Chains A and B, each alone.
Chain A
């Protein structure tokens, strides 16, 4: 037995100082008490003999999950979505509590489906209960911002070859006045119709001809090219387009149509987000349903509530009020125009990229908060609340350290360090569209209630 050379000290400073004076290296924990009332639940979860192995398994499954894009097709076929039924981002919500952008997107989708001729008629159908809706996550899908999916919209279909599990996401419409930000003007509906008629079938031909394309491998590359996979997807978009391009050219579509589709994809830096998200969804789902695990498998917002799911609590949603993001605004918009946080796109942070990989995206640090140093600090901070890292998604600027992966809800509650999410900002009034982009955190409430729910399933503390 040897004298300790390096000691971790949590608690009374006087004990750490005494080690300083004995020339022992001390790693001081900047300890703060957990929120009042959750102490017993934390202890129960900490002492649950299943937890450590369960979390290690959740991390391993998240890292091992595959994601290949196998098809593009209408949601009616892919998801079995019936006429009059819609999917949306975030946890479940009633029409009364639904935010402006979510209502706007549902209204636009109803008009797209030919269920209503004008917004007022569409609103009435939703308010009266004639139409129905449920979270994308309930069907294994994910949607950015309002995340609304209707039967005629085309979706990408991704497969995890190991498990046979599938995940879906709509095709990205571009930026500005778009349905996912709650806009439903005629040009929005017109674009969606064109996407269904031209973009979807054209991409399907290329996807099927190309064969299974490994989306996780593209994510690995884009993370080394300055994209974090949530607010910046520029290189991912170009990489996927390069993979499909030969097959697009051989698809037999007219030259004009091909030029339009290629210009549409190449001109939308966020196009790849809608492939990144279902790939992350497959990883998060792979980590689900492990008894005793405190790993977060979903973070999603509907514009009113922020909801999370834990591996150890199955399908239960743990919610709190969504916060208004802190960010930069487009044109004449300002914070007063912003809707609270919305979208399933926090599935990227759930799988360890987006805000968690800020250190790799210096180009957007001004956009999302500050200096390059802040970006490094953010990624380091996220490592402190995760079970481990994903070695396949290595960040060059962090000496190729893997992305922080598998958020442990108990570490969030204990440290007070909330997951860092990069996000777009929707206008709060239905029909407005995007007003900005920035940074947001979930409310702590999601994590405290999640830990309490997990504790209720843990062995009793005598």
Chain B
């Protein structure tokens, strides 16, 4: 085996691009392992896992190229493939004849041309810099990045209120503005519903369920997962509610949130009553309706029928003893599943546990029921979201399917813009080879690039049970866990 490790100083590429490069080169037959990544602590650990020694003086702004090949002759072609893949992903050369060099900051970009909005997905430690640029330039901004310090979020939102602009995020995965999806967003038809979302996948799920019954979306304004916390106090949610209230195309506003500070939720509900547009509050929590029930409520409000949600795959198999293991890309979907399971299964451990439930680390072995959120901040620092890069979840799936104590695996499969182009194809081989039943919720629409029905059918063909409703998927998975007590 030949190992090659080099550090390229100051050669920055974003983590998604590097993941694509690594994946492309790893697919070569003559390459055993490859990691092309910025030299963050996390990536240096991954390097060690691949059997490389840590380069002593690599800094987070340096690029590490690590390749191992069994045939030494293959090394040069593998490295050439790395360079070719990096080159291909670079933007068109700005040094060319009449092309102006691209701006290096949002401030510079905003000065050059009148944009409608800024979308910031730079690393969380510094995302605030370009977000402030946008606010100072009078632009609405969506901050996709997570791991932004809480006090920065509060300060930014206060400044945005002064400037009359909207801050969507940080940790805002989803927004839809007049049919244009930003971040992770499904292709939905236009319609009368406006959504304010302190939950990316929660909003996606709601929009997909509504799309399925022919109810369209005017806008979905994400506000970030922490907006309804006591510290942030719903600053962006209030601004977003007022925005939607002022939009004549919005006939019903839905505020969907992960579990929130009760005081903040109550205060927002009070402000919502002052608006001229009716507002439906959908704050997830024990005793609150799940997202599918919320969708049904919206359908009733706009006078549309809400038939039972779709299901694909084999008949429900017999329950078997053991434990349920849920592996999620969507935080709110994970949360919703835990709320569904809490009634039937008792103790469910998680890296984002419900109140009173055990907390586990994301890499810990499980003995009981377990639900993991792979999109949690802790797991996304310095690497792409699991909806883009399925590898961490696939590795865990392999581990759970091999665990004799595992009775059923519950998954979410989130489709739409910016998500993986074919998640079912990544999951299918594992599902087909498994003896443990797999239940998956498929969050998407017919018009999504991946095609919701095609993805569900592919999962079903591999032997999985697929649901259009995440709550329904959780309930069926729970039913497959035999003899509890």
Contacts and interface: CB of A to CB of B under 8 A. Distances in A.
Interface stretch (A40-48, A195-203, A300-308): A40-48
Contact of A411 (B105, B115, B123): B105
B184 to A, nearest CB: 9
B243 interface: yes
Which one of A8, A377, A415 has the greatest number of beta carbons of chain B within 10 Å?
A: A8
A244 B378 CA distance: 71
B363 to A, nearest CB: 25
A114 interface: no
Interface stretch (A25-33, A74-82, A184-192, A253-261): A25-33
Given A6-B113, A15-B144, A29-B130, A39 B181 contact: no
Contacts of A417: 104
Interface stretch (A16-24, A166-174, A421-429): A16-24
Contact of A1 (B113, B182, B247): B247
B16 interface: yes
Interface stretch (B172-180, B270-278, B297-305, B466-474): B172-180
B115 A6 contact: yes
B229 interface: no
Contacts of A14: 16-17, 384, 388, 418
Contacts of A10: 105-106, 109, 118-122, 130
A32 to B, nearest CB: 5
B11 to A, nearest CB: 10
B481 interface: no
Given A5-B116, A8-B110, A461-B151, A19 B182 contact: yes
Interface residues of A, number: 53
A52 interface: yes
B73 to A, nearest CB: 33
A15 B119 contact: yes
B155 A47 contact: yes
Contacts, number: 192
A64 to B, nearest CB: 21
A380 B181 contact: no
A31 B12 CA distance: 9
Contacts of A3: 177-180
A55 to B, nearest CB: 9
A414 B12 CA distance: 13
A263 interface: no
Contacts of A29: 102-106, 108-109, 130
Interface stretch (B42-50, B132-140, B350-358, B433-441): B132-140
B380 to A, nearest CB: 12
Contacts of B156: 47
A13 B20 CA distance: 11
B41 to A, nearest CB: 12
Contacts of A377: 100-101
A74 to B, nearest CB: 46
A33 to B, nearest CB: 5
A9 B119 contact: yes
Given A29-B106, A42-B126, A43-B152, 7 more contacts: A1-B178, A6-B113, A21-B417, A27-B103, A29-B105, A35-B61, A49-B159
Interface of B: 12, 14-17, 59-61, 89, 91, 94, 97, 100-123, 125-130, 132, 134, 136, 139, 144-145, 149, 151-152, 155-156, 159, 177-183, 218-219, 243-244, 246-247, 249, 384, 388, 417-418, 449
6 contacts: A13-B16, A21-B449, A29-B108, A31-B104, A384-B104, A411-B105
